[in-house]
Amino acid sequence: MRRCAQGDHQAFRVLYEHFAPKMYAYLLRFVNDRDMAHDLMQDGFIKAYTSIAQFVPRGEGSLQSWLMVLMRNEALQYLRRNDALRESMDIDSTPLADEIPDSEEVEQIPSEVLMQLLGELPDGYRTVFSLYVLEDKSHREIAEMLGIKERSSASQLVRAKVLLTAKIKNWLKENKE
């Protein structure tokens, strides 16, 4: 960390190679365009590089959490600039799944498939779902982050779950032995 703060590229390379695959996956939760996610990740790492001197370690995992906040800011700024957070589907046009999947079913699906199914959701749904389900944020926090109403966050989450349920059921059906 000290060598990174002094502008040592090799030290920063170690940090980059350790955290970048995780940050790339993290950005793909928000931006379903691999090139763009990669660009945004590098923007985030440049911010980390230029401000690492101000980072104060607060125990294990604090560097990763700090990087994730930087990456999330990059992703949300990008989505807001592109007006991608508006609700993009009427609730009536959302296909309904017969039943929700059980946790054993979800556990047998490979992680990369779950990422792919998540990536197929509209930007707004995926972002709300990621923040609520994967990061345990409240609708109030999500509304503040995305500049939307709490009600909109809640309704996008419902639709995201319905769509994802249908996609999971579909995948399980197609991949049944």
Binding positions for another protein, rule: CB under 8 A: 7, 9, 12-13, 16-17, 20-22, 24-25, 28-29, 33-36, 38-39, 42, 45-46, 49-50, 78, 81-82, 100-107, 109, 111-112, 114-115, 118, 132-134, 136-138, 161, 168
The region, left, alpha or beta by phi > 0 then psi within -120 to 50, assigned to residue 7 is left
Number of helices (H) and strands (E) in the chain: give both, helices first.
Answer: 9, 0
Largest CA distance in the chain: 57
Cβ partners under 8 Å of residue 164, min gap 6: 117, 118, 121, 129
Query: Whole-number minimum distance, CB 147 to another protein, in Å?
Result: 18
Q: Which is nearer to another protein, 43 or 148 (CB)?
A: 43
Q: Is 47 helix (H, G, I), strand (E, B) or coil?
A: helix
Q: How far apart are CA 158 and CA 151, in angstroms?
A: 11
Query: Whole-number minimum distance, CB 104 to another protein, in Å?
Result: 8
Query: Whole-number minimum distance, CB 22 to another protein, in Å?
Result: 5
Amino acid sitting at position 175: N
Query: Whole-number minimum distance, CB 148 to another protein, in Å?
Result: 17
| Cα–Cα distance list, 166 to 83, 97, 160, 163, 176 (Å) | 26, 5, 10, 5, 15
Query: Whole-number minimum distance, CB 155 to another protein, in Å?
Result: 16
